[in-house]
Structure formats: C-alpha cells, structure tokens
C-alpha cells in the first residue's frame, strides 16, 4: 500500500520533485509577504496550509488554514424554524425548489445538502447565499427515484450527499485524454450513484431514498459511539482521505462556518470509510493534493460568482465567490475509487 500511495503522489505532482512543490507553495521571502492578505493563486483561491492528519472512524482528516483575511461574518448557516422555508414550486419540477428567507441575515446553503420531504427528497447542486427577506429558486437533483408526490414543504437537515452522488451532481465525465470535465448535473447518474451507495452499505429502500439509507446508517454509527473530533483553532477547511488517498476538500471564508459544518462534512464520508480497513493518509500526499488545487486555480463559469478548475485528471473543484473573496470551495479527487469517473 505504501508503494501504491507513493506512485500516486508522484503522478499527482506530474513528476515534479516534492521539494519543488513545497517550495513553490511558500512565499519567496518575508519581505514579499503581506501578513494580512497574501497573494491568491491565479487571483481566485487563497493559499491553503494543511495541518497534521487525525483519524475518525476509518478516514483521515486534515485541518486547513488559509491566507485570506478573516472578516466579520454577516450570514448564518442555520436558521430558526419558520425563518427559512423550502417548498415545491407552483408547478413542481424535479430540478428546482423555492427557498424563502424571511430572516434579517443571508443564509448560506451548501452544495450536497439533502432536502427531505416534498414530492421527493432532493440534494442542492451548488452552494448558494440566499439574501435576507428574499425568495430564490434553487437548483436540485432527486435522490429518491421511486416517489413523486407528497407534501409541499422540504426540511433542511444536516445530512449531506456522499462523494459518488456529488460526482454525478457535478456532471463529471472523463475524456479520451484521461482528464475529467464538469458540466450540468446528470440526474440519471445521480440515481445510479444512490443505488451504488445503498448497495455498498447493504441497504435497501422501497423508494431508493438516499435520505432513508442515511437515516439507517446514522443509527448504526451512533451505536459505535465514536468520539467526534473538534476543529482546530482558526481552521477554515478540512481534507478528507479514505484508503490512504485524499478524497475531498471543503474550505470556507470563516472559521465559524467550518465549525458549524464540521460534523456534517465528516459524516458525509464516514460510512464508506468503515467498509474497508483503515489506511492512514500520509501528510505529503495530502499536501500534494492541496498544491495541485492551488496550481490549477479556478476560472469563471457561465454563472456569476461560480468558478471551476480546468479539466484535470485528479482535481474537480468548484468555488463560490462573494465579491472578490472566496466564500466556499469544494474539491473532489476524480481518481479516488469512491469517485471514479467512467
């Protein structure tokens, strides 16, 4: 396994010596470093600094800090009951829901969040900041193929989609040259990914409900009495590795946002980590993956404030900006066995 991971790391860096990768990610000298706002790679992403890996279940997680200045946060990630509501449209459609924020602060809703109830369970396909006192249409995919009908309202819970479903939500596909492209959400691939996730965890739901499978898994995981880790002071992101290989990264603009979403992020990937024996991810491999994300950067898409990296064999990153600053960045390792793009 060690040799396999070493080969993966060498491939990840395109044969560049590790010493050069590390050196390239550091400021040239102290005089050229602005302590409050260091340069952003490709003008979009802040520099990311990764800490020591820790085990949770059979996954390894690494804290991430960034070079971006920390501004006072004016949004929330969870709202009191009755302040934020998600409902079916007047003519319900699979791909869209309506979210109403009657509060006096914007609400941050994150890619992969599961929305329960309605005519079918859904998942949010992109990170959105819903303005105060506003109603917004939100793009979603169905994660319950066998139901169409029920109540008009949806429940904003704490569950999040696993890696395979997130891959399908990104519309990821592999080209003839081996690089991975991202496009619109692929609903058929989402349903296939939900079935794969259910089968991998030996769960069956009458309506093929991802929410139902997650509910069963939560009950089983609770019986294990795993001690939930706590974020490190100032941490603004987390890298998740399974099988000794980086799987996913989430990075936010503020430490409070990471702290509020930390458990949800870990639990999104925990079940699949327990299927196989634990393999620790070496710190250098994690740093190599972060360095590759920084090197690639992100570029504008057709949606304002939404950016993605150029097609790549490993990195599938999506970022949301607020003004010129990063609000949220989420990246998948397209080559990981839990993501593998056909």
How many whole angstroms separate alpha carbon 77 and alpha carbon 292?
29
Q: What is the mean pLDDT of residues 89-97?
A: 93
Q: What is the pLDDT at residue 140?
A: 97
Distance between CA 264 and CA 157 in Å, rounded?
Answer: 10
Instruction: Please state, in angstroms and rounded to a whole number, the distance separating the CA atoms of residues 67 and 288.
Output: 18
Digit-coded pLDDT (tens) for 132-153: 999 999 999 999 999 999 999 9
What integer pLDDT is reported at residue 20 of this predicted model? 46
The burial of 155, by beta-carbon neighbours within 10 Å (0-12 exposed, 13-18 middle, 19 or more buried), is given as: middle
Question: In this structure, is residue 117 part of a structural domain?
Answer: no
> At residue 318, what are phi and psi to the nearest 5 degrees?
-135, 135
User: Cα–Cα distance between 207 and 116 in angstroms, integer?
Assistant: 13
The percent of residues in the chain predicted with pLDDT above 90, rounded, is 78
The two tokens of residue 199 are: 């089968």
Evaluate the CA torsion angle 46, 50, 56, 58 in order and state its sign: positive
Confidence of residue 64 (pLDDT cuts 50, 70, 90): very high
For residues 289 and 249, what is the distance between their CA atoms, to the nearest angstrom? 9
Strand partners, 321: 326
> Mean pLDDT, to the nearest integer, of 96-107?
95
Per-residue model confidence (pLDDT) at position 323:
87
pLDDT reading at 291 higher than 60: yes
Q: How far does CA 225 lie from the centroid of its chain?
A: 25
Task: State the average pLDDT over residues 190-210.
Answer: 95
Q: What is the pLDDT of residue 33?
A: 38
Comparing CA positions, the residue from 226, 225, 246, 227 lying closest to residue 237 is 246
pLDDT above 90 (res 10): no
Q: Is residue 101 in some structural domain?
A: no
Q: Which of 34, 12, 75 is nearest to 254 (CA)?
A: 75
Look-up: residue for tokens 């996913």? Answer: 248
* 115 within a domain of the structure (yes/no): no
Distance CA 266, CA 254 (A): 18
Task: Give the lowest-confidence range in 173-177, 234-238, 311-315.
Answer: 173-177
Closest C-alpha among 180, 168, 86, 82 to residue 128: 86
Residue 165 lies in a domain: yes
DSSP secondary structure letter of residue 322: E
Give me the residues paired with residue 329 across strands.
Answer: 251, 319
pLDDT of amino acid 267: 95
pLDDT band at 311 (very low <50, low <70, confident <90, very high): very high
The span from the CA of 132 to the CA of 154, in Å, is 19
Model pLDDT for residues 245-283, shown as the tens digit of each residue:
999 999 999 999 999 999 999 999 999 999 989 999 999
Percentage with pLDDT > 70 across the chain: 87
| pLDDT at residue 222 is higher than 60 | yes
pLDDT score, position 294: 95
The model's pTM: 0.86
Establish if 92 belongs to a structural domain. Answer: no
Cα 217 to Cα 20, 91, 257, 267: the distances in Å are: 43, 33, 25, 10
pLDDT band at 305 (very low <50, low <70, confident <90, very high): confident
> Please, which pLDDT band fits residue 44 given cuts at 50, 70 and 90?
confident
The pLDDT score that the predictor gives to residue 28 is 41
Q: Is 90 exceeded by the pLDDT of residue 292?
A: yes
Residue 18 falls inside a structural domain: yes
Mean pLDDT estimate for the chain: 88
**What pLDDT sits at residue 43?**
53
* Among candidate residues 305, 332, 333, the one with its CA nearest the CA of residue 319: 305
Q: How many domains does the chain divide into? A: 1
For residue 123, list its beta bridge partners.
114, 141
At 16-29, the pLDDT tens digits run 544 443 344 444 44
Query: Which residue carries 């470093």 as its tokens?
Result: 33
- Asked whether 252 and 66 are in contact (CB, 8 A), the reply is no
Alpha carbon distance 49, 283 (integer Å) = 12
- Report how far residue 5's alpha carbon sits from residue 337's, in angstroms, rounded to the nearest whole number: 13
CA torsion sign for 289, 293, 296, 302 is positive
Owning domain of residue 198: 1-84+161-342
The answer, yes or no, to whether residue 1 has pLDDT greater than 60, is no
pLDDT of residue 67: 94
Two structure tokens written together for 168: 């399908």
Residue 109 lies in a domain: no
Residue 42 in domain: yes
Checking if the pLDDT of 170 tops 60, the result is: yes
């Amino acid at each position: 396994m060690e040799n396999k991971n070493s080969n993966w790391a060498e491939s990840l860096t395109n044969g560049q010596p590790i010493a050069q990768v590390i050196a390239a990610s550091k400021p040239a000298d102290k005089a050229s470093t602005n302590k409050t706002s260091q340069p952003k790679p490709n003008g979009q992403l802040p520099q990311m600094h990764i800490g020591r890996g820790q085990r949770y279940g059979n996954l390894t997680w690494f804290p991430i800090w960034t070079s971006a200045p920390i501004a006072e946060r004016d949004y929330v990630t969870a709202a009191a009951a009755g302040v934020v509501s998600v409902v079916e449209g007047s003519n319900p459609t699979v791909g869209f829901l309506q979210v109403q924020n009657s509060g006096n602060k914007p609400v941050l809703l994150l890619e992969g969040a599961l929305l329960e109830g309605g005519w079918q369970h859904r998942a949010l396909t992109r990170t959105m900041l819903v303005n105060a006192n506003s109603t917004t249409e939100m793009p979603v995919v169905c994660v319950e193929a066998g139901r169409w009908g029920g109540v008009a309202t949806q429940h904003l819970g704490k569950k999040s989609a696993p890696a395979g479903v997130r891959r399908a939500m990104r519309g990821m596909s592999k080209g003839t040259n081996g690089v991975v492209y991202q496009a619109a959400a692929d609903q058929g691939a989402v349903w296939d990914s939900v079935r794969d996730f259910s089968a991998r965890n030996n769960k069956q739901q009458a309506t093929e409900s991802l929410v139902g499978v997650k509910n069963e898994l939560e009950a089983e995981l609770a019986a294990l009495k795993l001690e939930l880790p706590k974020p490190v002071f100032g941490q603004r992101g987390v890298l998740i590795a399974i099988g000794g290989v980086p799987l996913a990264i989430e990075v936010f603009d503020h430490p409070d946002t990471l702290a509020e979403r930390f458990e949800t992020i870990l639990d999104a990937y925990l079940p699949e980590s327990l299927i196989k024996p634990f393999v620790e991810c070496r710190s250098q491999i994690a740093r190599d993956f972060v360095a590759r994300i920084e090197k690639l950067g992100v570029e504008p898409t057709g949606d304002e404030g939404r950016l993605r990296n150029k097609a790549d064999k490993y990195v599938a990153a999506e970022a949301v900006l607020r003004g010129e600053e990063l609000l949220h960045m989420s990246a998948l390792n397209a080559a990981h066995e839990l993501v593998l793009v056909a």
